[in-house]
Structure 1
């Protein structure tokens, strides 16, 4: 692959996640295939050619958010090629991202979610005591800390600080942060670890969240767990782990938490990513106003 060195750079120097690297590789495959069809060499790619490439994407029905992802990937690719002196200039330096209409994060009603967790033991959706406790911990951690799915499955037993009631999270770009745990959750984590030790004697996993066979948890398992329980309290289509992250952030904001503090808890690099939750809170306040005020 002509771009294999760039992918190695992303993996080993930039420490990109596997998911991001796979997405970049797909973008580069599509771009090089387009160059081959057009009969254009890499060194001859210029601003007009890139405009032509993205225009073709738009005409094919590709969404603006997907085109922007392609722009970002190829801008990084040509920046790398320029650094390695394989091209003279970056043809994407003047290419701007397309405007994307802002979508409000999908949420679960907080009261319904709290009620689900408060009455979790009465559900009896699984016969295995360990699985029930694990599922509860998964939901509590996602909603109680706002961590990402990828961060959840990376947690190790030793990352949990019982004395100080906090947990070490390995976020994007291998950045570490501590997230507080409430007293009840600390107690439930302790019970979960005892069950894991007692019931999974052959446990070979290196992670905190494991399967019923004692192996490391994987993304599809977490998705299944979240969807199974959220189906009990909502009919909305989106029932992913990220919905619980959105609900966590919006709940904090609704109750007066500082936006910078929420940013740190979520592990956002910049405040702009956190500010999207202010729109959710504003929409909620408008709804309350319309329902409650006689002049609304």
Structure 2
């Protein structure tokens, strides 16, 4: 049933490759635990006590509660699938509750460091340098996800109207406006890309030095390299630039619903987390400026 479930979320639900892989890994870990601890080969036969004992084992391994909750969510989705397909009679996840987690605000890079990186730093004029600058500009200038950046194709660009089309989660398309500076970087990159890349069948926008489609680790290393030059944040990932995009927009008065649409969030609740950063910033300004503070 695990195989059927994975096919269901991949082909019917059309979840992203990253999400499907995470679900698959969680179910593999759970299945291995059941086999070792209870000699149970089929996870659909597991009961509440077995699932609870796995969660306890994860806690004892000092895995973060947030990560454990993601695994709990995987099992919840899996057993709900089994219940709907009448593979089980009762849902063993009904009594399982998520673990408490500390609410952490999204980390982001301040405006001045980002300005120093994009406007003050000299990127090389060769293909690699222009590609690197484009990656940073795209992630910060559009707030797109890592997977969306990697999947971006030349045909998704509408440079005449300064718009690009992004394929997001659940195969949903959304339009994102791009600024003139970013458009100029794209044009320079495309001109150089045409000169050095012989493979006309490769339509992906961001390529490695070898002319192949960029992959997650490649982009992660690239982003970490450049963010390390301007920030001391412990996490220097593509997702930090997504947080930075949203926070900077909100700090400058952008409408929350507009940010939601730009990020491709399905609900406003996911976007509202950025308001806390803005409120904290307002508190600091108040404390420093108001005579009665």
**Once the 2 structures are TM-superposed, how far is the Cα of residue 203 of structure 1 from its aligned partner?**
5.5
Residue 34 of structure 1 corresponds to 33
| Aligned residue among 174, 177, 187 for 2:174 | 177
**Once the 2 structures are TM-superposed, how far is the Cα of residue 270 of structure 1 from its aligned partner?**
1.1
Matched residue SS, 2:151: coil
Q: 1:294 to 1:159 in 2, by over 3 A?
A: same
Q: Could you give the per-residue CA deviations for residues 166-198 of structure 1, whole angstroms, max 9, x where no partner exists? A: 000001111110000112211221111111111
- After superposition, residues 1-296 of structure 1 pair within 5 angstroms as 3-36=2-35, 37-39=37-39, 42=43, 44-120=45-121, 123-124=122-123, 126=124, 129-202=126-199, 205-296=202-293
Stretches of 4+ moved more than 6 A in 1?
Answer: none
Q: CA RMSD in A?
A: 1.9
Task: Structure 2 unaligned segments of length 5 or more: list them.
Answer: none
Number of aligned residue pairs: 291
Q: 1:197 to 1:73 in 2, by over 3 A?
A: same
Scaled by the length of structure 1, the TM-score of the pair is 0.91
Q: Is the 8 A contact 1:203 1:214 kept in 2?
A: no
Q: Could you give the per-residue CA deviations for residues 123-159 of structure 1, whole angstroms, max 9, x where no partner exists? A: 25x4x61111111111111111111111011110010
Matched residue SS, 1:103: coil
Matched residue SS, 1:177: strand
Task: Structure 1 unaligned segments of length 5 or more: list them.
Answer: none
Provide the C-alpha distance between the structure 2 equivalents of 1:273 and 1:209, rounded to a whole number of angstroms: 28
Q: Is the 8 A contact 2:155 2:203 kept in 1?
A: no
Q: 1:13 to 1:295 in 2, by over 3 A?
A: same
Q: Is the 8 A contact 1:142 1:148 kept in 2?
A: yes
**Once the 2 structures are TM-superposed, how far is the Cα of residue 230 of structure 1 from its aligned partner?**
1.4
